[in-house]
Structure 1
Amino acid sequence: MDFAAAYWPFDDPAGAAVGVRLRIARPPGWRIVVDLPGAFVAVDDDLARNRIGVPLDDGRGVIIGQLFDRAATEAGTVATVDPSAWRGTDAIAIGQKLLRQAWGAYVVIVPGPGHATLDIVRDPLGAQDCVTWQAGPVRLVASGAAYPADIAPPSPLAIDWATVALQLTVPVRVSEAVALTAMVAVEPGSLCQIADGRIRQRSLWRPADYCSPLQFPTPAALEQMIDACVAAWASSYMRPVAELSGGLDSSIVASALQQCPTKPVHWFTYFGEAPEADERSFARATALRLDLALTEVARSTRALVSSDFESVAAGLRPGMAGMDIHHDRDLAERADDLGADAIFTGQGGDAVFFQMPTAAVAADILASGASPIAFARAAIRAAHWTRSSVWSVAALALARRFPFPPPRPASFVRCAPGDHHLWFDGCESVPPAKRLQIFGLANSRVYFGASLRSRRCDLVHPLLSQPLVELVLATPIAHLTGGDRDRRLARDAFAGRLPPSVTGRHGKGDLTAYYGRLVARSRQFLQEYLCEGHLAVAGLIDRRRLASTLEPDNLAPCDAYTEILSAALIESWLRMRRHD
């Protein structure tokens, strides 16, 4: 949900003039929520139902976004909430009540007396974007759309090269940090406190806090939670469309959507040339079982050109969620032609249901205090799953050396990774496989990033819903997987609603070959684009190594396709900023 909020001292004429300009220049479909001396808030009500922009008790603070009732979701039903239950002037109290009793995509803004301070709370998963900056006497808080930044831009404004380096080495941070010196992104699940020009953020929600006490949901309980989360999001839209890749995750979302009063008006599946990128047989089986109108679209591997990257470069961040550029554009255009107000996906399911085969599952069993016999059985199951020897699995589990996977930049990236993610706080006592799940959930936040699809309509990832994420965080990985099969609990939960070919499928689709063809056909352009671009001039990429990586004989062995495309997306964003 796009929004713009501005606060300035009550008696400041320059601030008042900015407020007037914001009021006059607001885009069509935007509703004014707060318009008082020293405060202006407007929200875009053009797309979804159930969107709120509700002033708080003092009339200046506001709750913005989409809110669903937590108790209703846990009971398997759908209900929105009365924001009056969370009104007040204490941001921490409001945020904690929201975390316990509601969920969705939201931001809370609470100004202090005279607007000398400002507190901001953002939803835990980051479904609602939020950035803040200072423009003269005015403090802006917004979703990141062109408005209001084009009316009241930050001052001073410059590229933050340290953040660019971070985004290059840890691509998921593209969807979170803003590489502009005057702008700060509010961290999901955090309280952002602004006072005297200083910004401090601290966590109100951490994954580690939900890893105990343990829960052991039945397949039916998981099924009910998924259905309720999907239904809540579906209740917000009139004409959604959806993707059905043929994989388990998107099929689960499809099954849940078909039970909602508002069903997608159309379904799309995209397929590549390589067999592993062609999942049409699975998508067709699900479509037949659920009676879906499915359109099959061949993925384009047309060579990329500069205009492809420029199309996703507008905005406060590089369009990392639009990395599959041809697919992103095609689905955005199809959604636009159908008048869709949302696109539903199954993204995030790999982390939520735990798709990663790992010996760490046996380490979790060991950490739980299991008997030697139980540990031995777990090691045997994990060895079968990972196709390793029982001895190697047992040795790894006993050594308990399963740190968070470090970022592994491509060889042509010169900057060294260095990052501390707030989501990893408190994970020291979390068992290894569960830590790996948290790492996967953190990486899944890239799906909330900017893309052509998200600019045309809302991009909805219902598997990344707070109640579902908290449920699986509390569920031992051995229970989610049975110790020897990825996403076993989810497979069992939907075995009666999806084709056996989908729930019993071994492996999943792989777009590596598709990206390989795309990069190979764009090799000459990408080499010129990156070797002569801002990243190279700044010394963040090594021209010689990049040229070597792009050599036809090296492309496949290096397997750096996504890293090359990520660098190109960041480069395009830098070029756009230098032209602003």
Structure 2
Amino acid sequence: MGDYLVVSAPVASERSIALKDDARIAGMAVSDLAPNTWLAVCGPHVPKTLGVGAWTLIGDVFNRNSPVLPDSGDDPLSYERKLVARFWGRYIGVRLSGAGEVAAVLRDPSGARECVTWMQDDITLIASFAPDWLLRRLSPPWRINFEHLARALRDPLMSSAALLLDGPVSVPPGALQSYPLGSPTEPLWTPALFVRRPADSRIDPKAAANHLRNAVDEAVSGLARLPTAMASEISGGLDSGIVASSLVHQRSGNVRLWLNAHGNTPESDERPFVAALADHLGISAVSVPMASAPVSEEGLLRMSRDWRPGINGLDVPHDLDWVQRVKDAGATAIMTGKGGDSIFVQGATTDVFTDLWRSRGLRSLLNPDVLNLAALNEVSIWSMVREARRYHREGNRSPSRDDGLLKPLAGEQPPHPWLAAGDQIGPAKRLQIAGVIDNISRHAPSLQTEMIDVLNPLCAQPVIEACLSVPAPLMTFGGRDRGLARQAFRDRLPELIVKRRSKGNLTRIYGRMILNSLDVLRPWLLDGRLAAQGILDRAGAEVLLTRENLMWRGHYGEIMVAAAFEAWVRTWEARLVRPA
């Protein structure tokens, strides 16, 4: 995607001058925003700048097709709220004071670009990345916050919230941070603003489907304009099929390669669905074997040098393979369908009925989709009613990773700030918001993002807002997972994909990879820093990290996440050692 660094300091600051020289030596393009504030950019897709009033937006910025501007009244942040409603993209904004110093920074609601800021001596810095040369020059007095780390390791949603370092501040998506640092961030945008309340939960299905399709088309066409030539991932599933169909329908982008990776197990080989999609859209698909290799310490450490643990970059062999194939096709970017499961509501569970019950009570039993939901979940309607009533009494529970690998945390852990709206939002809608939070990590660094631009339109603001505004029971129209998305794009997709009930599954492939990597992963975790800090349950991990236990219980995802966190801790402890 590309990275940026903003440095604001007195004109005569020797450290600022040295940093500017370091940035140029590192290959970054440097320009002045004001006499004492400069910007450095780099990457496969170098961030651009756009002036909007007093703000300089850094990154990719698009005008909304049909913006709905908030009526902010006397709100002092009225202009900024309208700014994030009028534009969408992958950007941060910087506002300078009359003296040319950084006065405020904001981050776009999708969180596509990281925005970390801190002050050191006479310098204010804002950065999307944390290169070695920057840390060497500054030698910041930071420390790893192991309490925050333990929370993030247990709660998957906290990995994209506050940083695991004491010192720098990560500006949340859709928020504004003023300077000097110390004041709380001001939310300009939150998912809850777009969730329809129970009293306003009725919406016409046809209108909702059109709204969803227009939002996807807006995001796809906008991002497709960025590269001169691109590839498009087609997994064989609904989400990537929707993105591909939007590209073809709108004739968006110069697509040089329609790329599919297939596994060597029946459930991971989706070539029949890819062939049906290619035939329906009139495109030529290239299907290649999925690249795989055992986990290595080098691979884990390679993706651990940024602000957060490198969870998005764990599949090193696949990333390297796809980068080469995209480049060989003469493209500089790849578009994916990632994020669709979450935002389109993959889980047509009984939680959907609970949301419906909260809005309509006994009248919810007249909804034509209730029978389908009960059949899909293999429960009776009255069981769903009982569960909905229990939720009204007991509320929700935050997601948590498995206890077998981690030691329990003391006390109740607060939820992610975007989930703090609590009882006003039903469980299915809360899960959708959790998906929006999780999708922020889709933009995180990986070997792909280092070398090509990775475009995720289903994680973009127009799609997020459109889907959040539709009640969960309508998102599962027909009692189906992603039912409204199926309805919205049924005329663009082959029937085989629209009516597909199975889903590609890579569990066996990644499970085999971890089984073949136990000689690396066992000592990595059992003798690592997480165990030394008492975050990892060493006795439990010793049992879990055996071939017999893995084949019986699995937990592959938890193991790889813990391995990524371990790599991040080792890397940052070494980086934060201050010279004597």
Q: Cα distance, 1:44 vs. partner?
A: 3.5
Find the partner of 1:264 among 236, 243, 255. Answer: 255
> Residue 109 in 1 paired to residue 94 in 2?
yes
> Residue 395 in 1 paired to residue 386 in 2?
yes
Worse-matched range after superposition: 289-298 or 237-246 = 289-298
Aligned 8 A contact 1:266 1:294 in 2: yes
Whole-angstrom distance in 1 between the partners of 2:241 and 2:152? 32
Find the partner of 1:146 among 125, 128, 131. Answer: 131
Worse-matched range after superposition: 97-106 or 318-327 = 318-327
CA gap 1:438/1:175 in 2 versus in 1, 3 angstroms? closer
CA gap 1:20/1:3 in 2 versus in 1, 3 angstroms? closer
Find the partner of 1:554 among 549, 556, 568. Answer: 549
Whole-angstrom distance in 2 between the partners of 1:578 and 1:448? 25
Aligned 8 A contact 1:362 1:378 in 2: no
Aligned to 1:54: 50
CA gap 1:373/1:116 in 2 versus in 1, 3 angstroms? closer
> Residue 310 in 1 paired to residue 305 in 2?
no
Q: Secondary structure at the match of 1:270?
A: strand
Aligned to 1:80: none
Aligned 8 A contact 1:122 1:191 in 2: yes
> Residue 4 in 1 paired to residue 5 in 2?
yes
Q: Cα distance, 1:419 vs. partner?
A: 4.3
Q: Cα distance, 1:99 vs. partner?
A: 1.9
Find the partner of 1:409 among 387, 394, 402. Answer: 402
- Report the identity percentage: 30
Whole-angstrom distance in 2 between the partners of 1:384 and 1:536? 44
Whole-angstrom distance in 1 between the partners of 2:298 and 2:423? 45
> Residue 183 in 1 paired to residue 168 in 2?
yes
Q: Cα distance, 1:565 vs. partner?
A: 0.6
5+ residue gaps, structure 1, are 75-89
Q: Cα distance, 1:526 vs. partner?
A: 0.6
Find the partner of 1:167 among 152, 173, 192. Answer: 152
Aligned to 2:578: none
Aligned 8 A contact 1:194 1:200 in 2: no
Q: Deviations over 1:439-498 (max 9, x none)?
A: 222222221211111111221110112122111111112222125111111112222221
Whole-angstrom distance in 2 between the partners of 1:26 and 1:310? 21
Aligned to 1:203: 187
Q: Deviations over 1:141-183 (max 9, x none)?
A: 0111528734643521332222322332123433444323222
Aligned to 2:217: 227
The residue type equivalent to 1:40 in the other structure is W
The residue type equivalent to 2:461 in the other structure is Q
Find the partner of 1:481 among 470, 476, 483. Answer: 476
> Residue 319 in 1 paired to residue 315 in 2?
no
Whole-angstrom distance in 2 between the partners of 1:108 and 1:267? 34
Counting matched residue pairs gives 557
Whole-angstrom distance in 1 between the partners of 2:498 and 2:5? 44
TM score, norm. by length of structure 1: 0.89
Q: Cα distance, 1:129 vs. partner?
A: 1.4
CA gap 1:440/1:24 in 2 versus in 1, 3 angstroms? closer
CA gap 1:127/1:154 in 2 versus in 1, 3 angstroms? farther
Worse-matched range after superposition: 108-117 or 500-509 = 108-117
Q: Deviations over 1:501-546 (max 9, x none)?
A: 1111002112222221111111121101111211112221122211
Q: Secondary structure at the match of 1:518?
A: helix
Q: Cα distance, 1:424 vs. partner?
A: 1.4
Q: Cα distance, 1:113 vs. partner?
A: 5.4
Whole-angstrom distance in 2 between the partners of 1:308 and 1:26? 23
Q: Secondary structure at the match of 1:265?
A: strand
Whole-angstrom distance in 2 between the partners of 1:564 and 1:469? 30
Q: Deviations over 1:323-348 (max 9, x none)?
A: 33322232233234445322211011
Aligned 8 A contact 1:242 1:264 in 2: yes
5+ residue gaps, structure 2, are 69-74, 576-580
Q: Cα distance, 1:579 vs. partner?
A: 3.5
Aligned 8 A contact 2:116 2:171 in 1: yes
Whole-angstrom distance in 2 between the partners of 1:15 and 1:56? 30
> Residue 42 in 1 paired to residue 36 in 2?
no
CA gap 1:274/1:449 in 2 versus in 1, 3 angstroms? same
Worse-matched range after superposition: 121-130 or 148-157 = 148-157
Q: Secondary structure at the match of 1:198?
A: coil
Whole-angstrom distance in 2 between the partners of 1:528 and 1:370? 54
> Residue 351 in 1 paired to residue 342 in 2?
yes
Aligned to 2:72: none
CA gap 1:46/1:434 in 2 versus in 1, 3 angstroms? closer
Aligned to 2:178: 193
Aligned 8 A contact 1:131 1:184 in 2: yes
Aligned 8 A contact 1:105 1:123 in 2: yes
